[in-house]
Amino acid sequence: MVLEPSVAVIDACILYPFHLRNIVVQAAVDRLFEARWTDAIHDEWIRSLTVDLPAIPIERLHATRRLMNDALPTAMVSGYEEHVPKVILPDSKDRHVVAAAINAKASLILTWNLRHFPEHELEKLGLRGMTPDEFLSGLFDKVPDLVVGSLANARQNLSKSRVSGSDFIGILENQKLIQLAKRIERHVSDL
């Protein structure tokens, strides 16, 4: 089956946790979808991490940002600001995410905060909000071999910690990728 990749803006809450960022960015690198983000989204996840985990050097986070941008050179969205005023959301601080999605001609916003992105408002703009678990599980249902391969690549990225396939299933569960973990369990030997 040929996969027609969706274009999705990744909310900062998805990029904040290391393991989830690794899994989602790897899926984009493996062309399971086209990831989009902005400098403002980068700034938000980095700011949150520096507050919650001040021991992580800011230089390391900026290096991660550069690596992400280098790995996915088409991911950066700019020039979206003109769309911000027409976006109506419960929290005006989230409008830039939707504005970036409009500018990027995305169809999805990947977020854990679906209540911040009401379905009725997104539909008006041709958008849909999805959790990463719903999104990645849906991809697995369409192209299981490609998702297993991408997850194996994400596990390989953890070369320093040498995580086993079964431990990687635990990482998926800890990242709230519960449905994905259930689907992947029978493929643990392929991770």
pLDDT confidence of residue 160:
83
Contact (CB, 8 A) for 7 and 142: no
Contact (CB, 8 A) for 15 and 111: no
Give whole-number Cα distances, 135 to 5, 14, 112, 149, in Å: 12, 12, 11, 16
**Which amino acid does the sequence have at 88?**
I
Per-residue pLDDT of the chain (191 residues; tens, 9 = 90+): 556 779 999 999 999 999 999 999 999 999 999 999 999 999 999 999 999 999 999 999 999 999 999 999 999 999 999 999 999 999 999 999 999 999 999 999 999 999 999 999 999 999 999 999 999 999 999 999 999 999 999 999 998 888 999 999 999 999 999 999 999 999 988 88
Give whole-number Cα distances, 20 to 2, 50, 76, 127, 171, in Å: 25, 17, 19, 22, 9
Give whole-number Cα distances, 147 to 99, 122, 183, in Å: 29, 27, 10
Residues linked to residue 33 through DSSP beta bridges, in sequence order: 6
Domain boundaries, the chain: 6-131, 135-190
Q: How far apart are CA 42 and CA 22, in angstroms?
A: 14
| CATH number for the segment(s) 6-131 | 3.40.50.1010
* DSSP H or E segment with residue 15: helix 12-15
Tokens of 66: 């550069």
What residues have CB less than 8 Å from 91, skipping those under 6 apart? Answer: 116
